[in-house]
């Protein structure tokens, strides 16, 4: 069974590469620290909205020390346009404190260390490792839950289980790119509501029983 699923998933990823050749992480960043902060800010918020805020935010606060030098009320005001801005500001401050105290102000390159930062779970940690550091990892967001379930590759809504299965089925060197492609497919074609099954390039491979209703 795992060989069949591996073959299916590789076929899907190959087709998605042709469908979305320009697929990329849509958060703007120039280094691992900026991506870490942007990903914390992106919780329950669109990447486009986060990019609007970080365009100014990263110029004002280029490193952990800069974030710690400003009072919490000002930081909350700086990110006020985003959802849950009060809590996110607290997470950012606490995260920066940990980076300075434990890692010399640098972003660690191990998921075990990253998840110790307030506001950082495995998804955020893996996104930073994969995209800002080039370390193989799969960050399981809502799209990475929905798409593999519809395809029939996984039968779980648990992010940790989905990460384990995808990592087991895919060659390590393809984790990062496959992750981005699956996310794009979920965002632009295999959407949560009204999926565009009639336009889907992996329609024939998909095992979702409801796909005919949207074709």
Active site residues: 123, 141
Residue 110 has which token pair? 């191990």
Going by C-alpha positions, the residue among 55, 13, 16, 23 that lies closest to residue 131 is 23
SS3 194: coil
Per the document, the length of the chain is: 215
Residue 10 has which token pair? 């590789």
CA distances from 124 to 36, 38, 111 (A): 7, 10, 9
User: Cβ–Cβ contacts within 10 Å for residue 149, how many?
Assistant: 16
Burial 108-128 (b: 16+ CB within 10 A, else e): beebebbeebebbbbbbbbbb
């Amino acid at each position: 069974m795992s060989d069949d699923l591996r073959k299916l998933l590789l076929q899907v990823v190959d087709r998605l590469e042709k469908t979305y050749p320009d697929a990329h992480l849509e958060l703007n960043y120039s280094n691992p620290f900026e991506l870490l902060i942007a990903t914390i800010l992106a919780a329950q918020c669109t990447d486009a909205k986060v990019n609007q805020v970080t365009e100014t935010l990263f110029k004002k606060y280029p490193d952990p020390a800069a974030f710690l030098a400003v009072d919490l009320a000002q930081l909350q005001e700086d990110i006020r346009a985003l959802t849950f801005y009060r809590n996110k500001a607290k997470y950012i401050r606490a995260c920066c404190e940990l980076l300075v105290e434990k890692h010399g102000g640098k972003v660690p390159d191990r998921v075990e260390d990253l998840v110790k930062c307030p506001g950082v779970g495995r998804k955020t940690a893996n996104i930073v490792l994969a995209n800002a550091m080039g370390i193989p990892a799969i960050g399981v967001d809502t799209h990475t839950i929905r798409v593999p379930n519809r395809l029939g590759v996984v039968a779980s809504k648990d992010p940790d289980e989905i990460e384990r299965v995808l990592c087991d089925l895919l060659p390590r060197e393809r984790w990062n790119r496959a992750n981005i492609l699956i996310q794009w497919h979920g965002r632009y074609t295999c959407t949560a509501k009204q999926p565009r099954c009639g336009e889907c390039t992996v329609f024939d491979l998909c095992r979702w029983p409801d796909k005919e209703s949207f074709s």
